[in-house]
A and B are shown apart, each in its own frame.
Chain A
């Protein structure tokens, strides 16, 4: 089967690649384009570790058809820091020990980033809801919730 050409913006840079017709975005990012920010957990949509932003909305890269991303804006955790300066969410995750093994962290950061872009001052319930599709086997979630709430109050946290 012929490969299909796909072009999109990935973390602000134009990228072009060829994909198999039924390839998912996660494989395309990791194997095709070397962006290892989003992780491969379940491949079923249940763990949330592959969450990326497509045109600003959270999507599961493992269930997203790569070919449907033509012309879209894709953002991953690889593009969150501004040079050496961490994104306020990344800094808050460090300050609040919101990562142990760190495997869920890219998905959690992306889910939180999508929330704060729309709702800069979320309630605790809204934070819980925003990360409800993301599984963490280590932290018990509380440090993650605290980090997101802290980032929401941090100066500059509105920067999506």
Chain B
């Protein structure tokens, strides 16, 4: 049988999650409750957090901090988070977005995890709390590479530096079913321009590997260049570096590899999908 513990503080929840291998945090429940409904999750303890800090948004300053329990609908309702509206809007329909949290999205298996792709392009940090002590910040990239091993504790928040110029964060979700469908892949690119040249490009993909990944080859191809035909061509050529896409019900590995450079090229050229 499954048990439920409701925790009024984040540290209480972190203590339970790290002390009991069968304890599982429930955020919005959009993935956890599927497992329950289908009879795949039958034992252990679901841990619920009611601590207001879990749902807190601090978006006014240069550094943004979002509680892990912030939902996609809360992101969409916040004008200061406009740069994250496109990835938040890409997740499910309105009823999914009311429930789905950004913390849960960090754990969603491919081809899910679209919001995390945008956070990766923002070079976000994840605040992890593994016992009753205080949280520690780790880079999202390190968090994702350790994700499959599990047992990282509770994510209490994500943090990132606010993009100086929000339109420089580009996001595209490529899906077959309109208006809503699961990702064939998603791309986020933060391309700050200085003197007409890209400086410190950060590009990330979803569904092109078991977790969202950074596209280092593309970043190298773009850095210091104007966003012209030559740079876009070089970026397309480097697009597949490090990719290990899966074949699943949405698309084959072959198809994902074929279309990624095409969509990356269109995104960089500012063309419509």
Residues of A within 8 A of B (CB): 1, 4, 20-22, 24, 43-45, 48, 51, 54, 57-60, 62-65, 67-68, 111, 114-115, 128-134
Q: Name 24 interchain pairs, CB-CB below 8 A, sorted by A.
A: A21-B1, A22-B4, A24-B33, A24-B37, A44-B38, A45-B96, A48-B93, A54-B98, A59-B99, A63-B37, A64-B33, A67-B4, A67-B6, A68-B29, A111-B94, A115-B94, A129-B94, A129-B179, A132-B93, A132-B179, A132-B180, A133-B94, A133-B95, A133-B96
Of the candidates A22, A45, A68, the one whose C-beta lies within 8 Å of that of B34 is A45
Name B37's closest neighbour in chain A (CB-CB): A43
Cα(A67)–Cα(B45), bound, Å? 14
Main secondary structure of the interface of A (DSSP, over half): mixed
Residue B131 interfacial (CB < 8 Å): no
In the complex with contacts A4-B4, A132-B179, A134-B93, A58-B98 CB distance below 8 A: yes
Q: What number of A-B contacts does a CB cutoff of 8 Å give?
A: 90
Once bound together, how far apart are the Cα atoms of A35 and B30, in whole Å? 22
On B, residues with C-beta under 8 Å from A are: 1-4, 6, 26, 28-30, 33-34, 36-38, 41, 46, 48, 73, 92-96, 98-99, 179-180
Contact (Cβ within 8 A) A1 B2 = yes
Q: How far apart are the CA atoms of A129 and B92 in the complex, in Å?
A: 10
Q: How far is the CA of A47 from the CA of B92 in the complex (A)?
A: 11
Q: Is the CB of A64 within 8 A of B29?
A: yes
- Residues on A with beta carbons closer than 8 Å to the beta carbon of B99: 59-60, 63-64
Contact of B93 among A1, A68, A133 (CB under 8 A): A133
Question: A21-B46, A51-B95, A129-B179 are known contacts. Are A65 and B34 too (CB-CB below 8 A)?
Answer: no
Report the separation of the CA atoms of residues A131 and B95 in the bound assembly, to the nearest whole angstrom: 9
Please give me the residue from chain B that is nearest to A115 by CB atom. Answer: B94
